[in-house]
Amino acid sequence: MPVAADVVLGAGVTIHHPVLVNLYGCTVGEGSTIGPFVEVQRGAVIGARCKIGSHSFVCTGVTLEDEVFVGHGVMFVNDRHPRAASGGRLQREGDWVLEPTRVGRGASIGSGAVVMCGVTIGAGAMVGAGAVVTADVPAGATVAGVPARLLARATAGAVAPPPADATAPGDTEPKSAPP
């Protein structure tokens, strides 16, 4: 069952190795590319002209708008408090809270990044390789690190570094600019 019968594939979708993916109950927009060893779960939506690198996991509740790049080994999370069991039995669908995640048009997520649940990555944003995104990323911003911190903001079509007293998404204390 590499690509289940209930998957909606737009025109011109490329799945490089169909027997080496696990897609079920999802939608993949026209012209998108899915690499090997990718899982896309039920209810996930991948827009048009997206690229999903190998070994990535796109879970239920994730929406990728058009022209999103997802590097190799990117992991999305949809449960803030994951548990194996609840009340002495394995958890089922009603035992946890799905927190949706949205990635805006033209955003790029570097290899090995982890995107926690309930965040929005704005249009045209750039997430560095290996980052852990725990809070919203503004449109056009560049973030990196663990947790992901703001490196640059878009200004009138260009990307400019943040002011020296800028805070990272989720931070409350100002951070000084790196040397």
CA–CA distance, 118 with 125 (Å, rounded to integer): 17
Q: Which of 51, 101, 95, 98 is nearest to 71 (CA)?
A: 51
CA–CA distance, 92 with 118 (Å, rounded to integer): 20
CA–CA distance, 122 with 159 (Å, rounded to integer): 14
CA dihedral of 109, 115, 118, 124, whole degrees rounded to 10: -10
Chain centre distance of CA 37: 16
Concerning whether 72 is annotated as a catalytic residue, the answer is: yes
17, 55, 72, 81: the catalytic one is 72
Active site residues: 72
